[in-house]
Amino acid sequence: MTATVSTPAVGGRPAKGAVPGPAGRSPRRNTEKRRQRTLTWVLAVISLFTVAPLIAVAVLALSPEDAPTLPYALPSSLTLDNIVRIFNVGEFPLWLWNSFLYSAVSVVVVLLTASMAAYALARKRFPGRNALLWAIIATMMVPVQATLIPTFILISKMGGVNTLWGLILPTLANAQAIFLIRQFVRDMPEELFDAARIDGAGEWRTFWQIVLPLIRPVLATLAIFVFLWHWNDLLWPLVVGQSDAARTLTVGLATLNTETASTSNVMAATLVSFIPCLVIFALLQKHIVASITHSGVKG
């Protein structure tokens, strides 16, 4: 009886350090082994569903232009011609640059202004603090699409249509960033700030040398999600960046797709647009996974 209970499978989860029975190959262990093998196969099939479309993009992007052979056969040779072409013909490099600026500038400004605000909202007493905090949190309930029209009118009155600053400015208001950082700063021990005060550190120095280094983990997480969100955003760039001067990759890709561009070109552009996301994921996978499972950041 006890032997059965102490065997590896605990609700399908082998307990760490569970000692196998004296025989080493109990029937239950064999069942578990078979089950693990089935499980691996099922997951391999699901992975095919998630990854195969991405592999198809890469293959199509690297196939010779006049003979895209998928889905009937694999290409006989691979070439970088399509990728070289999209960088030399048309406005693709400009879109790439615009997307990069849209994402990078937003990350830097959002992180800086949000952590400053979060520090003040968590640690400083000033009139109107709670009202402001409440108002910022309340804006999280308003979908961006609901304020699309007035935001566009505002930017157009400021002369920001088809400009990069017009594209970037309205997206700098990020309530979620403030909310998350504030929780971090609020949980810091008061002694930290007392110590800084005693040593005569000014407000800015306290923020720059004490708060910022300590909130680095949450800043890293936010940087990833703010970047991905901007890099992949469509509706706002579509509305405000109607000419190439402020057109981002997503908007450019969408127009390429509806125009008469060849499949090879569209797929090459798609592949290039995905590479930064892939690099970020490869480098920071643990961070991304941990932040979703712990705080539920919505990218």
Partner 1 sequence: MSVNTRTRIKLAGRHPELAAPPLKPFGAKKARNREALAGILFVLPTLVIFGLFKFLPIFGAGAMSLTEYSLNGDFEFLGAENYTRLAADPNFWQSLRVTFLYVAIFVPFIIAVSLAGAVLLDKLVRFTGTFRALLFIPYLSSFVMAGIIWTWIFSTDGPLNAALVGLGMGPVPFTSGPQLLVLLSLAVVSVWKGFGYSMLIFLAGLKAQPAEVHEAARIDGAGAWKSFWYVTLPLLKPVVFFVLVIETIVGFQVFDTIYVMTGGGPARASHSLIYFLFDEGFKFFDFGYASAIGVVLFVIVLILSLIQQRFFEGKDSK
Stretch 267-296 residues interacting with partner 1 (CB under 8 A):
267, 270, 273-274, 277-278, 280-281, 285, 289, 292-294, 296
Applying CB under 8 A, among 192, 208, 216, 217 the residue interacting with partner 1 is 192
Region for residue 15 given its phi and psi (left: phi exceeds 0; alpha: psi -120 to 50; beta: otherwise): beta
Residue with tokens 């999209």: 86
Q: Which of 87, 59, 86 is nearest to 73 (CA)?
A: 59
With contacts defined by CB under 8 A, name the span among 80-88, 90-98, 179-187, 265-273 that binds partner 1. Answer: 265-273
3-state secondary structure of 188: coil
Nearer to partner 1, 69 or 78 (CB): 69
Q: Is 221 in the site for partner 1 (CB under 8 A)?
A: no
Kindly calculate the radius of gyration of the chain based on its CA atoms and give it in whole angstroms. Answer: 26
- Window 15-34: contact mask with partner 1 (x via CB under 8 A): x-------------------
Q: For residue 13, what are the β-bridge partners? A: 10
The continuous run of DSSP H or E covering 10 comes out as strand 9-10
Please tell me the distance from the alpha carbon of residue 241 to that of residue 102, in angstroms, as a whole number: 11
Please tell me the distance from the alpha carbon of residue 287 to that of residue 275, in angstroms, as a whole number: 18
- Look at the alpha carbons of 60, 63, 65, 67 in this order and tell me if their dihedral is positive or negative: negative
- Window 36-65: contact mask with partner 1 (x via CB under 8 A): x--xx-xxx-xx-xxx-xx-xx--x-----
Applying CB under 8 A, among 165, 197, 208, 216 the residue interacting with partner 1 is 197
| Least spacing, CB of residue 67 vs partner 1, in Å | 14
| Interacting positions 111-170 with partner 1 (CB under 8 A) | 113-114, 116-117, 119-121, 123-127, 129, 132, 135-136, 139, 141-143, 145-154, 157, 169-170
